[in-house]
Amino acid sequence: MTLQVLAVDDSRTMRDMVRLTLTNAGIDAHLAEDGLHGLEVLEDMPRPDAIITDINMPRMDGFGFIDAVRAMPTHRATPILVLTTESADTMKHRARDAGATGWIVKPFDPAKLVKVVKMVAG
């Protein structure tokens, strides 16, 4: 069975890099450009095995997105990885408190991203 991953990032370049990395690993990548768009895509896709989200985005940031996803009964246990340039411990704690599963700092190592996605989704 092919893993399904939703990746939310306002940077087109980052979305393209994540999509390429995941599809090269045989993972179906669904993309969204901010938290609100991420919620829309989430409604239309099969249940994701994992979600990757940036923190700093317009309209709805990563924290708001994580809160909204965790409020949905069907996604309370879906692994959420934060992929961001932020590395401050306060941001990590805030993300963990909101319900994030893990934290990856940009720029990311493609092999590590795939490994972590497979680890949390499996």
- Domain of residue 79: give its range: 4-108
Report yes or no on 114 lying in a domain.
no
| pLDDT given for residue 7 in this prediction | 98
Report yes or no on 121 lying in a domain.
no
Token output for 64: 């708001």
Q: What's the total number of domains in the chain?
A: 1
**Interaxial angle between packed helices 12-24 and 110-121, expressed in degrees from 0 to 180 and rounded to the nearest 10:** 70
pLDDT digits (tens, 9 = 90+) for 28-43: 999 999 999 999 999 9
Q: Which residue has the higher pLDDT, 11 or 46?
A: 11
DSSP 102: E
| pLDDT given for residue 55 in this prediction | 95
Residue 66 belongs to a domain with what CATH number?
3.40.50.2300
